[in-house]
Amino acid sequence: MTAKSPTALITGASRGIGAAIAQELTAQGYEVIGTSTKGGNGLLPLDLLDPNGPAALAKSLSGRTIDLLVCNAGLYLDKDQSLADGYPSEMWATEFAVNVTGVFLTVQAFLPALKPTHDKTGGKIAIISSQMASHTRAPGGSYIYRASKAAALNLGRNLATDLKSEGVAVGIYHPGWVQTDMGGMEAEISAEQSAKGLSDRFAALSLTTTGCFETWDGRAHAY
Ligand SMILES: NC(=O)c1ccc[n+]([C@@H]2O[C@H](COP(=O)([O-])OP(=O)(O)OC[C@H]3O[C@@H](n4cnc5c(N)ncnc54)[C@H](OP(=O)(O)O)[C@@H]3O)[C@@H](O)[C@H]2O)c1
């Protein structure tokens, strides 16, 4: 009898890091379920600005076990905002809805699908945060993005505590400075390099290392 392929669900798999993770995990034998805001091209629709989005997606997939949930979708709207008169409140609301609330609602919706079934090993949750989440590294600027990624890191750390007894491990990751629409083409590494490194991190994630904050290439990140 051949073993069943593990299943990964990746939010924001239409382009950039999410698309590269989807490609990498598919090559490793995962069945990949990817999402984009509009869906299509083999991707399921999930707009994290819709608070009902994650629950509706989970309902449509009910009965499927998820072995790896990658919360990757993200927005960075405040790159060029001015401290004097920028950072409007609507921008805070939109960016937090996707980068923070969206992560929480996705995890919450898919928890039943991640819990251990016949064996004692539950699924894993990978939250793609950023080095910009760190408060020890504080070069200034990008207040909304930094605060949202810090919040996503905090969510991941506390979920790791709550879900350990359920057998679900949670890792939080800095994917590197990556050549994508968000990172820009002058960034340091390709999406493929980032995805390969991240997939190694996901494989190494366990209940012993749950709550870790690591870089794509396996270094512990300062909080
Ligand atoms: N690139 C970097 O250097 C870098 C560095 C640190 C952290 N990160 C983080 O890595 C993750 C991926 O970044 P990336 O560089 O690949 O970004 P990207 O190229 O801009 O892609 C963003 C992805 O998120 C999805 N998304 C955007 N708004 C969404 C919404 N409202 N609901 C659901 N999905 C939405 C997009 O889907 P659509 O195509 O449908 O819009 C797309 O798939 C993000 O969380 C980002 O913050 C990136």
Per-residue pLDDT of the chain (223 residues; tens, 9 = 90+): 456 789 999 999 999 999 999 999 999 999 999 999 999 999 999 999 999 999 999 999 988 999 999 999 999 999 999 999 999 999 999 999 999 999 999 999 999 999 865 455 679 999 999 999 999 999 999 999 999 999 999 999 999 999 999 999 999 999 999 999 999 999 999 999 999 999 999 999 999 999 999 999 999 998 9
pTM above 0.85, yes or no: yes
Give 156: exposed, middle or buried? Use CB within 10 Å, 0-12, 13-18, 19+.
buried
Whether 85 lines ligand 1, by a CB cut-off of 6 Å, is no
Q: How far apart are CA 12 and CA 46, in angstroms?
A: 8
Distance 190 CA to ligand 1 centre (A): 14
Q: How far is the CA of 182 from the centre of ligand 1 (A)?
A: 7
Q: Tokens at residue 18, please?
A: 């999410």
Question: Distance, CA 185 to ligand 1 centroid (Å)?
Answer: 15
Q: With the C-alpha atoms ordered 8, 127, 18, 191, is the resulting torsion angle positive or negative?
A: negative
| Closest approach atom of ligand 1 to CA 20 | 16
Pairing status of strand 169-174 against strand 213-215: parallel
Residue nearest to atom 42 of ligand 1 (CA): 12
